[in-house]
Structure 1
Amino acid sequence: MHADAVRNDAVRNDAVRNDAVRNAPAFSVSRLTFRYERKVAVSCDSLEIHRGETVAFTGSNGSGKTTMLKLLNGLLGPYDGRIDFLGLPLARNPLLRDRSVFVHQHPVLFSGTVKDNFEYALRLKRVRGAEAAKRIAMTVERFSIGPLLEREAGRLSGGETQRVAVARAVAAGADVILLDEPTSSMDSASGSAIRAFLLELRRSGTTLVFSTHDASLVLDLAGRSVRFESGRVVDEPSTGGTL
């Protein structure tokens, strides 16, 4: 009888947790302070990012934008306060690596072809064979990157590398994508390709959070912007607010 009670409690707890995950925002930040040595790098009393939302982090260089992105993806710590991802604490959150990805300003791909990169990322998720081929084909068609598939990853341009890095994450199951300066240092054509790529992700309901100095990218893409100043969230203006 005791074993049945324990089992029933476990089932109820799983149900409660699943409900919390279904209804929770993508990220919830409360009373967060992160320091590099003794200097406060990020301080944020409260911030929520909802699923399917596109949010721009704006502010000058060194204002805390990239640091906050890395904190949200569990790449920095320890910190004071709390960060939840999909309703569960970020630390040891089993959903974080399956559902979220951080794309660096200058992402690094695996050696080999673009197709090799997709296959390797899927193997890490234990997706192989026909299912892997199906996911790759769907992603390639969705984002119009077929001409890149047999190219050597090391020979891609900066814009192409960004597109492949994001598409690879989507194929592997990520639906929350954090990007650091996605159009920085790109020519007009590459920047336009990335912009179209991100607009497609937004239309599909992917949660996007990105840092940028590009006012036009904020206007075209973001539902709202969050401005950082000296490590602090100072306001959340409507789209097109001060960068």
Structure 2
Amino acid sequence: MLEINRLSHGFSAEPLWTIDHLHWSGQDMVHLLGDNGSGKTTLLRILAGLDVPCQGSVRWRLDRQWQRPPCPARVIYLHQTPYMFDVSVFDNLRLAARWYGLARRDSLMRVRRMLHWCGLEQQARQRARSLSGGERLRLALARAWLLQPRVLLLDEPTANLDAQAIADVDSLVADLVREGCAVILSAHHASVLTERCQRRWQLCDGLLWESTTNASFMAERLLR
């Protein structure tokens, strides 16, 4: 699903990190770790096509052919404080459906289904920017899932959320994984969400280490 070759990025003469080669099938949910400033967000944004690397290549195989990012509606990046349009919860979803090009009848059906899925039916007419942090993230997940992406890149999705909000988000992400959506998430702290991950990628000193979550040590060094 994902292939990286000789990828590097930095904001000065010294690369932030360099990835010689990485292949991900999309079958395992990935927990991306690293200290502040290690480049986790930068890597996720490059995978989504929001930033351009200094050198190297990223390719996604989402259907039958390989393609370079961006992959609109297919690979979606969600920031820890997702942007909300200054309209109602309902209209945030409706605008996404319009952008996707859904027919009016189909879009309304999908919006109502997403409202039910994320548990925000009672807040449908509420201004989206007035929602709590947990509610905003649930709406952002619903807005993304409305487009039926193949891959979600979640950047610190549990940051600043209480235990109940994290549990709510975990339930939605579990639904997405069951429906076949591949997930990479960055997170500083362990939670029920990171416990779902079968694989870890850790950025450290400009190198990426990969391991399965049941390993007692980093099994393979991918970067040199």
Same fold? TM cut 0.5: yes
User: What letter is aligned with 2:68?
Assistant: L
1:90 alignment partner, one of 68, 91, 94: 68
What SS does structure 1 have at the residue aligned with 2:212?
coil
1:89-238 aligned within 5 A: 89-91=67-69, 96-217=71-192, 219-233=194-208, 235-238=209-212
Distance in 2, Cα, partners of 1:159 & 1:139 = 16
Identity value in percent = 28
| CA distance in 2: counterparts of 1:198 and 1:186, whole angstroms | 15
Q: Residue 127 of structure 1: SS of its match in structure 2? A: coil
Structure that is richer in helix per residue = 1
Q: Alignment RMSD, CA only?
A: 2.0
Which of 192, 213, 220 does residue 239 from structure 1 map onto? Answer: 213
Q: Tell me, in whole angstroms, the C-alpha distance in 2 between the residues paired with 1:78 and 1:43.
A: 10
Q: Distance in 2 between matches of 1:145 and 1:103?
A: 19
- Residue 121 of structure 1: how far off its partner (Å): 0.9
* Paired residue type of 1:106: T
Name the amino acid aligned to 1:182: P
Letter in 2 for 1:30: N
The number of residue pairs the alignment matches comes to 214
CA distance in structure 2 between the partners assigned to 1:141 and 1:150 by the alignment: 14
- The residue matched to 2:22 in structure 1 has which SS? strand
CA apart distance, 1:41: 1.6
Instruction: Kindly indicate whether residue 53 of structure 2 is the aligned counterpart of residue 75 of structure 1.
Output: no
Q: Structure 2: how far apart are the matches of 1:126 and 1:138?
A: 17
Provide the C-alpha distance between the structure 2 equivalents of 1:79 and 1:112, rounded to a whole number of angstroms: 37
Change (3 A) 1:209 1:74: same
Q: Which stretch shows the higher mean deviation, 51-60 or 156-165?
A: 51-60
CA contact (8 A) 1:102 1:179 kept: yes
Of structures 1 and 2, the larger Rg is shown by: 1
TM-score (norm 2): 0.87
Corresponding residue for residue 15 of structure 1: none
**C-alpha deviations, 1:209-239, integer Å up to 9, x for none?**
1101122346521121111113320x21221
Runs of 5+ in structure 1 lacking a partner?
Answer: 1-24
CA distance in 2, matches of 1:43, 1:189: 37
2: CA distance, partners of 1:105 / 1:221: 19
Which runs of 4 or more aligned residues in structure 1 lie more than 4 Å from their structure 2 counterparts after TM superposition? 240-243
Deviates more, 1:142-151 or 1:174-183: 142-151
Structure 1 residues 157 and 174: alpha-carbon distance in aligned structure 2, compared to 1, 3 A threshold: same
Q: Which residue of 1 aligns with 2:222?
A: none
TM-score (normalizing by structure 1) = 0.81
Equivalent in the alignment of 1:3: none
Q: Deviations over 1:170-219 (max 9, x none)?
A: 11232311010000111222122112221221222211111011223465
